[in-house]
Amino acid sequence: MKKTLCLLALHVAVASAFAAPTAAPGYKVTGSIAIGGEARWDYITVDSEAHRIYMSHGTQTEVIDTQSNKLIATIPDTLGVHGIVVARDLGLGYISNGKDNSVTVFDLATLKATAKIKVGTNPDAIVYEEKSHRVVTFNGKSEDATVIDAKTGAVVGTIAIGDKPEFAQIDPAGTIYVNGEHKSELDVIDAQALKLTHRYTLKPCESPSGLAIDDKQRLYAVCDNDMMVVSATDGKRLGQPKIGGSPDGVAWMDGFAFSANGEDGTVSVVGETAAGKFETVATVATAFGARTIAADPATHKLYVPAADFAPASGGGKRQGMPGTFRILVLEKQ
């Protein structure tokens, strides 16, 4: 009898090990970085090596020192700024300006703008592909991508996408992946050859926006219908866990994907079980409207932009309150 019980206990323990998700990290908000001004923002970028955050903020771009949590510079005249990307090997940064269809080039040492480059209509996400030294903007209204020679600032080509591109990621080989919002696709781009090479469906995902990539080159797309689609770079579906409402940004760090859910005011933490299933393993409270996110793998911190919102009136949307804009700092407990 004792032997039977031991074998049964061993069987249950093994089964549980293969069914249970990876131990969920206990993140919580530990502080905030006050910025103020308009309660308008989009993507946030962390430069771990330089201990900086680059924050889109309406018509300007804020630069924050992550060691002091202080605002150290503002780059003006970035109208409708969406994304910021850093080319450390060139000592330059690039900002996509959605309202004037341009990219601002700035010097990483001085944090001063040095040039403006005209691109497609309503540039949104922006990436830097280091192997080819190319900056690529993903243009929402013209449904294409503008490819820039980062060394010269010259536009070297335009890639038709045929869908509204959202966030993008790059794998170690230099291949670019971008979410197509209207057709719910994952589009694959060769920046060197200047062409779109593959389209993979993300359905039943609706309106995919944020995209993250992990160290195994698996992609995490967040969707309007409260789900995350996890896929391989060849389009193979690996999972579609349920997450919070109205996500816009997602980051990957330390074995987990973190989805920022604006409607719920939460971050969904998605992990992989020992059996290879992806599940939401934790939910972290943030703030209503906090929909984008960035991770700092050097400090293991997460950064989530937020503001206070006035109650909705007359059937309209809740509006962010001026002066309350800030960046929430999340740390593992």
pLDDT by residue (tens digit) across 121-169? 999 999 999 999 999 999 999 999 999 999 999 999 999 999 999 999 9
Return all residues near 249 (Cβ < 8 A) that are at least 6 apart. Answer: 43, 44, 167, 209, 210, 222, 259, 260, 291, 292, 293, 294
Provide the CATH number for the domain around residue 73: 2.130.10.10
Average pLDDT of span 191-197? 93
Whole-angstrom Cα distance, residue 83 to residue 42? 7
User: How would residue 8 be classed by pLDDT, with cut points 50, 70 and 90?
Assistant: very low
What is the model's pLDDT at position 11? 39
303 occurs within a structural domain: no
Whole-angstrom Cα distance, residue 71 to residue 297? 21
128 occurs within a structural domain: yes
What is the model's pLDDT at position 107? 98
pLDDT at 3 over 80: no
270-317 pLDDT, tens digit each: 999 988 899 999 999 999 999 999 999 999 999 999 999 999 888 788
pLDDT at 240 over 90: yes
pLDDT at 4 over 90: no
What is the model's pLDDT at position 313? 84
User: How would residue 23 be classed by pLDDT, with cut points 50, 70 and 90?
Assistant: low
Q: How many domains does the chain have?
A: 1
Percent of the chain with pLDDT over 70: 93
pTM: 0.93
- C-alpha separations of 275 from 15, 243, 282 in Å: 10, 20, 18
Token representation of residue 278: 């992806």
228 occurs within a structural domain: no
Contact status, residue 142 vs residue 120, Cβ threshold 8 Å: yes
Mean pLDDT of the chain, nearest integer: 93
124 occurs within a structural domain: yes
Contact status, residue 92 vs residue 104, Cβ threshold 8 Å: no
55-105 pLDDT, tens digit each: 999 999 999 999 999 999 999 999 999 999 999 999 999 999 999 999 999
The distance of Cα 307 from the centroid of its chain, to the nearest Å, equals 18
Question: Containing H/E element for 141?
Answer: none
pLDDT at 25 over 80: no
328 occurs within a structural domain: no
172 occurs within a structural domain: yes
What is the model's pLDDT at position 130? 95
Structural domain range at position 192: 44-201
User: How would residue 6 be classed by pLDDT, with cut points 50, 70 and 90?
Assistant: very low
What is the model's pLDDT at position 314? 81
Residue 3 gets which letter from DSSP?
H
pLDDT at 14 over 60: no
